[in-house]
Amino acid sequence: MTTDLGAIDLFDAAVLDDPYPLYRTLREHAPVHRVPGTDFFLVASWAAVAEATARTADFSSHLTGVLVAQPGAAPVTFDLDSTGQAVHVLATADGAVHSAHRGIVGPALAKRVRTLGPVVTALTEQLWAEELDGDRIDWATGIADRLPLALIAELVGFPRADVPQLLSWAYDSTEMLGGIVADGRMAALITSAAELANYAYQAVVAAKERAAGQDSPEALIDVLAAALAAGRIDEQQAVLIVVQLVGAGGESTAGLIASATRLLATDLDLQSRLRDRPELVPAFLDEALRVESPFRGHHRHVVADTELAGVALPAGSHLLLLWGAANRDPAMFGAPDVVDLERPRGRAHAAFGAGAHFCIGSALARLEATAAITLLLERTERFTLDDDAPPRWVPSLFVRRHASLPLRVTPR
């Protein structure tokens, strides 16, 4: 990787597939680096990322712009809040607003997750039976993508028949944020966003109509309707919370399930160790989260002129906090590129974010990933990558997720 930072192309296909040499260069030479010609700054070191997440008054979580590259053109900022009047919810909200939304969704989600174990196991077994074709399975499209959105539908209160459409809308939303937009594709993504918002609006309206008769709502859509009736949120916030749950709810889990599987598919000794000692699966999943963080980074908005790691940041500029870079920082993790099941403070990574915005669905993600990996280990003698169909990553600055992960398996 070149140390000429001006020559770095974030959108180069090789960098998108394997960003870690770039991350190393940034950590060592420019932990806060301005993308030339833009108002975006990449934040790559553990120390700088941790400082940024702690300075919530200086660095807002409001999603105000994304870095976008059109074919053959230099990257530009796509403005998402030109008027400064956008409504922000949950992960993109700040302060008291964020706390209020988290106080509505968090307890309801935690309550449901405690009872979901049998549902997750049954759904994982069903998907395995449907997707396994002899000795082959595309683990990404068959399991990693489908399982999380099916559980989101279950939690929010959507019909299971809607899951394929919800999955399409969810991945369209992260495609828009990922910055890689093909010619003519943006219009389709905007249409998709409008369709998801309308679906969420119709669901909120229906939940409002039945809210009066529910003393203890279970589905999250009904919890939101109750909060709306009580004046804790307004209708627009309720709709956007639903949109965010669908759009982001499956991403981290899908990324984790597939990336963890790829790590195992390329290390048969590690596979054998986990089959012999399944109690090590949680530690392995934390290492998978650290070395292949499902979200490459998250946005922060610079509120006023300030600096970070000695770099001046003008008001209105943007940060991209690179979780994937920070999680491989040798200043924080010894031998950071190695999967170490005995790593001290193995959960200290930032794959689920940090600070007040630590992922509200992390427990659900761990539950689903544990079920999926456990089933794969129990149902096979071994599994490897399919030499006839190499795996593919989704090209994105935002997510680290597989577009496909074909496996060859030896069933038990």
Q: Angle of helix 362-379 relative to helix 146-156, nearest 10 degrees?
A: 140
Side by side, the strands of the sheet bearing 318-321 are 32-34, 40-43, 318-321, 298-302, 59-60
Maximum distance among all Cα pairs of the chain, rounded to whole angstroms: 64
Any idea what the Cα angle at residue 350 is, between residues 348 and 354, rounded to 5°? 100
pLDDT at 365 over 60: yes
pLDDT of residue 79: 87
- Cβ(195)–Cβ(187) under 8 Å? no
**DSSP characters for 60-76?**
E----EEEEB-TTS--E
- Cβ(26)–Cβ(42) under 8 Å? yes
With a pLDDT cut of 90, the percent of the chain lying above it is 76
Domain residue spans of the chain: 5-411
Once rounded to an integer, what is the mean pLDDT over residues 62-75?
Answer: 83
Once rounded to an integer, what is the mean pLDDT over residues 273-295?
Answer: 97
| pTM for this model (two decimals) | 0.94
Spatial separation of the C-alpha atoms in residues 370 and 182, rounded to whole Å:
35
Q: How many CB atoms lie within 10 A of CB 202?
A: 11
Spatial separation of the C-alpha atoms in residues 78 and 386, rounded to whole Å:
38
DSSP state of 212: T
pLDDT in tens, 229-280: 999 999 999 999 999 999 888 888 999 999 999 999 999 999 999 999 999 9
Residues 6+ apart with CB under 8 A from 315: 302, 303, 304, 305
Q: How many CB atoms lie within 10 A of CB 382?
A: 16
Q: Is the dihedral of CA 72, 73, 76, 80 positive or negative?
A: negative
pLDDT in tens, 367-376: 999 999 999 9
User: 5-411 has which CATH code?
Assistant: 1.10.630.10
Q: What are the Cα distances from residue 66, in Å, to 47, 50, 96?
A: 23, 21, 25
Amino acid at 224: L
